[in-house]
Amino acid sequence: MIKTVLTVDDSRTMRDMLMLALVEAGYRVIQAVDGIDGLETLSAEGADVVITDINMPRMDGFGFIEGARADPRYRATPILVLTTESDAVKKQRARDAGATGWIVKPFDPVKLVDAVRRVAA
């Protein structure tokens, strides 16, 4: 069955790039533009995997992860954060909030798809 990936990022460029890589790998992609939109979309449509950025307006990635984890429906949904290589503090904070794994920006499409595959049931 085709798996759905929700990508949460305020940058249209990033959303498009994620979509390109994921669709080519056979995933169905839905998008959201910030944390609040992400939670709403997750609630409305559901997803098998979520990829989220950290810096976003209205609600950032940490808020999104915490919000998702607080909802029993999404406790078991894998969430990957997009993070820059050098940001150990942010990565840890994301993990503390409940992130399943991470993808380093700028991302290599192969590694991206690999990460999604590794966490998608």
Residue ranges binding other proteins (CB under 8 A): 10-14, 16-17, 20, 35-36, 39, 55-59, 63-64, 66-67, 69-70, 72, 75-79, 84-86, 88, 95, 97-102, 105-107, 118-121
Q: Nearest 5°: phi and psi at 29?
A: -120, 130
Least separation in angstroms between CB 29 and other proteins: 13
Closer by beta carbon to other proteins, 28 or else 101: 101
Cβ atoms of residues 29 and 5 within 8 Å: yes
- For residues 58 and 83, the answer to whether their CB atoms sit within 8 Å is no
Beta carbons of 15 and 34 less than 8 angstroms apart:
no
Least distance in angstroms from the C-beta of 61 to other proteins: 12
Based on CB atoms, which residue is closest to other proteins, 7 or 100? 100
In the complex, the smallest distance separating the C-beta of residue 4 from other proteins, rounded to whole angstroms, is 15
Query: What whole-number distance in Å separates Cα of residue 68 and Cα of residue 43?
Result: 9
